Amino acid sequence: MIWPISNLDYSSLVGRISLPFVFSSNVTNTVEANGLQNAYQRKYYNQQENKSSSYDQSCHSVFRDNMPFNQLLGLEFVTQGSGLETQISLHLNWQPSLTGNPMQKILHGGVTATMLDTIGGLVSIIETIKQTSIEHLVDLQVRLPTMGTVDMRVDYLRPGRGERFIATAAIIRKGSKLVVCRMELHNEKGDHIAFGTGTYMLG
């Protein structure tokens, strides 16, 4: 899928959202910038610590509030750690409307695929930003907007039973144009429900 960053009015988000650091041309003026953006600033300019909660809010803003389908499903973006060490995962509470099977509480396979694709794309974007040096962030700004999923494989390992589902992702390889990502879905008991591999392209 094409990721939502592509058409956001980045300038309006500066200071409120950390990801659009790359998308803003007047970053240096943004006093209330934080999260990943500040992580960069710390990395290069050794600035003071900022609270990661605002980074957390940022992800919510970009990926849930701005992606109606994620909102329809009730996807939650949860972060641990702060700045460049932030780990992000995608959570979803069980709801009857997500049922693929009317007689049992089993997640529809499309919900599983949605969670894997979304976390894979999100982690690919974040890692790309992390690994981009400040001087190349402007170039990235031009290319990131059209980032999208090229292809994805989903392995359905077990029926999607549970009260809460957690999707995580790890980069297998980050190239200049393509990112390959490995995704997993577990339930609250740690049962491994699905496994995925996705290829994502920078625009």
Name the site residues for a copy of itself (rule: CB under 8 A).
Answer: 1-4, 6-9, 66-73, 96-104, 106-115, 117-118, 121, 148-160, 172-173, 177-178, 180, 182, 192, 195, 197, 199, 201
CB of 174 to a copy of itself, least distance (A): 10
CA 143 vs. chain centroid, Å, equals 17
Closer by beta carbon to a copy of itself, 113 or else 134? 113
- Residue 91 corresponds to which amino acid? H
d(CA 161, CA 155): 16
> What is the H or E stretch that residue 107 is in?
strand 106-107
Q: How crowded is residue 25: how many other Cβ atoms within 10 Å of its Cβ?
A: 11
Closer by beta carbon to a copy of itself, 40 or else 94? 94
Closer by beta carbon to a copy of itself, 7 or else 80? 7
Residue 66 vs residues 2, 8, 53, 131, 192: alpha-carbon distances, Å: 13, 9, 19, 25, 29
CB of 92 to a copy of itself, least distance (A): 12
Closer by beta carbon to a copy of itself, 134 or else 180? 180
Residue whose structure tokens are 């190239």: 175
d(CA 54, CA 58): 6
CB of 66 to a copy of itself, least distance (A): 4
Closer by beta carbon to a copy of itself, 138 or else 178? 178
d(CA 154, CA 189): 21
CB of 187 to a copy of itself, least distance (A): 14
Closer by beta carbon to a copy of itself, 149 or else 168? 149
CB of 49 to a copy of itself, least distance (A): 32
CB of 72 to a copy of itself, least distance (A): 5
Residue 182 CB-density burial (10 A; 0-12 exposed, 13-18 middle, 19+ buried): middle
SS3 of residue 154 by DSSP:
strand
